[in-house]
Amino acid sequence: MTTETGTEPGPGPEPGDAAGTHRAVDAVWRLESARIIAGLARLVRDVGLAEELAQDALVTALEQWPESGVPDNPGAWLMAVGKRRAIDRIRRDQTLERKLEEIGHRLDAADGSTEDFAAVLEDEPIEDDILRLVFTACHPVLPTPARVALTLRMLGGLATDEIARAFLVPESTVAQRIVRAKRTLAEAGVPFEVPAGEERAGRLSSVLEVIYLIFNEGYAATAGDDWVRADLCQEALRLGRLLAGLAPGEAEVHGLVALMEIQASRTRARTGPKGEPVQILDQNRGLWDQLLIRRGYAALLRAEKAAGGAGTPGPYVLQAAIAVCHAQARTAEETDWERIATLYGVLAQRAPSPVVELNRAVAVGMAYGPEKGLEVVDALRGEASLRSYHLLPSVRGDLLYKLGRFAEAKEEFERAASLTRNGPERNVLQERAAAAAAKQA
């Protein structure tokens, strides 16, 4: 079995090693679940049913592999079992009798080997099936939390409890989201296909949004006791790389991958000894992962090639270009803040939002002085969407601190600390409030 990274697994556990077999099943499922569910969904045209059939195959593996051992090609074995279950299901559906007869003849002609079953019904490349699954799981008919949960379940192979832990919500909530999402897709008659034209462009933005939401939750957790959740970042990166391989002509896909690669390169430097957040200007750049940075550069070049110089780059390509500016600076002082401010200005025109403006304020403050940055921030204070956003008072407090307005800075840091739900971030903001108070005294 070869994964999308091109690596070969080591030898599996010996027959009778139940614990080792269970670990092997978990690993195979994480790698192969998207491929299996996608292949079955093309056959039964129902994502929920496809997952059910794939889970049945997984249960069969848990029952048989401890005695028989892990097969040489476990992914093909699971696919074969899943397809047998699908054929049984089709036999019970009288509206598909004609298709059953055709499939049945082909299966009867096979000798039952894994290879024979893997060949049956493979009319189209597996990559096409997975791309269909991506677009189905991220269909706009679903609310964003449901898209995230379904994507992690279908494409990431994560269990319900893993998704619940990742987003700090009850397992029952995640389970309900997944059930409702599958029911909504079925009731809405969402076809298992890659849409074309404008619909594809609109759906692609939804796909990218979901993947980046997963990455951002790992990169800077909104709540809890951890500032960084590397497992979520890695999962989002894996999904992004997979999508880039499936849609090589989409510039924004490569842009998102470039952005995530470069941001992920800073992971080891983003927390201090106690798990506290470390701002980019204070990070030890020797800890930045140069391999991920090089991968990010390469992905951005692929994005530029795919775009072909047509018009203004998309939001993810622009954000990747900003990330490259940071990665190219050997020290914080060498950062080209003027270029970053310019790129944020273009991004604000391409994809206007208060959060982009807030980021632009930081860059303007660094490039042209805190007074200029504060002007941009103060223009955002009336934004309803930022009323409970802790980074607005945090950024404002930082600019006020640099201007020597310590009493106001203290109030802003305290407000930011009261708004954040992340423990380590709250501690840092409280420390900054105390530092401003000390300066005031």
Residue 192 gets the label, from left (phi > 0), alpha (psi -120 to 50) or beta, of beta
Give residue 206's pLDDT. Answer: 86
224 forms beta bridges with 422
The predicted model gives 328-341 an average pLDDT of: 97
Instruction: Tell which wins on pLDDT, 295 or 33.
Output: 295
Question: Looking at the predicted structure, is the pLDDT value of residue 79 above 60?
Answer: yes
Instruction: Tell which wins on pLDDT, 97 or 357.
Output: 357
pLDDT band at residue 222 under the 50/70/90 scheme = confident
Give residue 22's pLDDT. Answer: 80
The predicted model gives 247-275 an average pLDDT of: 95
pLDDT band at residue 306 under the 50/70/90 scheme = very high
Question: Looking at the predicted structure, is the pLDDT value of residue 390 above 70?
Answer: yes
DSSP annotation of 190 reads -
In the chain, count of helices (H) and strands (E)?
A: 20, 2
Grouping H, G, I as helix, E, B as strand and the rest as coil, residue 93 is coil
What percent of the chain is modeled with pLDDT above 70?
87
Q: Is 105 exposed, middle or buried (0-12, 13-18, 19+ CB in 10 A)?
A: exposed
Amino acid letter at 100? L
pLDDT band at residue 111 under the 50/70/90 scheme = very low
Record the tokens describing residue 292, joined without a space: 């991920």
DSSP annotation of 280 reads G
pLDDT band at residue 203 under the 50/70/90 scheme = confident
Give residue 378's pLDDT. Answer: 97
Instruction: Tell which wins on pLDDT, 112 or 387.
Output: 387
Whether 1 contacts 75, CB under 8 Å: yes
The predicted model gives 310-326 an average pLDDT of: 93
Give residue 103's pLDDT. Answer: 57
**Each residue of 13-41: pLDDT tens digit?**
555 566 777 888 888 887 788 889 988 98
Record the tokens describing residue 317, joined without a space: 């390509």
Question: Looking at the predicted structure, is the pLDDT value of residue 370 above 90?
Answer: yes
